[in-house]
Amino acid sequence: MSEPTAPDSPETIDELRRQYNELAELAGSLAHEIKNPLSVIHMNTDLLCEELEETPFPGQRRAIAKVDMIRHQCNRLENLLRDFLRFARMRDLEMTVGSLNEQIQRVMTLYRAQADKSEIQLQIILDANLPNIKLHSDSLQAALLNLVKNALEAMPNGGQLLVRTYSVPGGVAMEMIDTGCGMDEVTAMRMFEPFYSTKHGGSGLGLPTARKIIEAHGGRITVQSEVGRGTKFAIEFPTPIRLAS
């Protein structure tokens, strides 16, 4: 009789990875199959709404309101499918050597106008001597965009967002600290769970996808939050040995 495979053996890990890839592939295919007819429904709903608006008739306002509700739900489902496909397809990324500071600067530039409009002060302190890391620019920026977006939304009445970078043993780190509404302990513990969301109409995949991207870079993300005081995200990325030396 053969010996049972150890839970953490390479064979078990490879099998789990294979099963995960198969499930991710199946989920992605299913999402695509849903997306196509949903797009057709959305398009025909738009056409129907145009026809309903052309000629007045009894009950026209109620009919248009019902069609608008269908359009809204189509939009919601399309956004959910888009976020899900992004989450499910996060595989091995083709990394290049790049600057974390540069990625942060690009993201903060995109949100500066919104921050000014919301009376949110952006404080950016980047270590000029920060070592480069291996990164995938598009996906890393997507993760940072999500974190900044959440921080700004947590400060509807203004506040301050501090973003800073610094070196740590074996890598680099960044912190993102806002003075927003904060989160209770349950939300902070569950915020990285897929489909968990406290926002109306949210997909619950933004933060899980951000974490998945960061982990695909070999990094890790942690969060500390207190209701009424704000939230702090801390992220660390490894520096490749040849770069560190």
pLDDT in tens, 141-192: 989 999 999 999 999 999 999 999 999 999 999 999 999 999 988 888 888 8
187 in the same domain as 106: yes
Whole-angstrom CA distances from 239 to 48, 110, 139, 141, 143 are 56, 27, 18, 18, 19
Full residue range of the structural domain in which residue 107 is found: 96-244
Question: What CA–CA distance (Å, rounded) separates 62 from 119?
Answer: 40
49 in the same domain as 114: no
Mean pLDDT of 26-44: 77
Beta bridge partners of 225: 231
User: According to the model, what pLDDT value does residue 1 have?
Assistant: 46
Assigned domain for 14 exists = yes
Assigned domain for 5 exists = no
76 in the same domain as 60: yes
Q: Which of 52, 70, 88 is a domain's end point?
A: 88
73 in the same domain as 123: no
Residue 37, domain CATH = 1.10.287
112 in the same domain as 74: no
pLDDT higher than 60, residue 44? yes
168 in the same domain as 131: yes
Which residue would you say has higher pLDDT here, 158 or 94? 158
> Which residue pairs from 150-154 have beta carbons closer than 8 angstroms and sit at least 24 positions apart in sequence?
150/206, 150/207, 151/176, 151/178, 151/180, 151/231, 152/111, 152/114, 152/115, 152/118, 152/120, 152/178, 153/180, 153/199, 154/178, 154/180, 154/181, 154/182, 154/230, 154/231
Lowest mean pLDDT among 24-28, 35-39, 121-125, 236-240: 24-28
Which residue would you say has higher pLDDT here, 91 or 15? 15
Q: Which of 39, 70, 88 is a domain's end point?
A: 88
pLDDT higher than 70, residue 25? no
Assigned domain for 180 exists = yes
214 in the same domain as 172: yes
Assigned domain for 1 exists = no
CB neighbour list of residue 21: distance below 8 Å, 6 or more residues apart? 91
Average pLDDT, the chain: 83
Residue 215, domain CATH = 3.30.565.10
Which residue would you say has higher pLDDT here, 81 or 101? 101
38 in the same domain as 110: no
Structural domains of the chain, count: 2
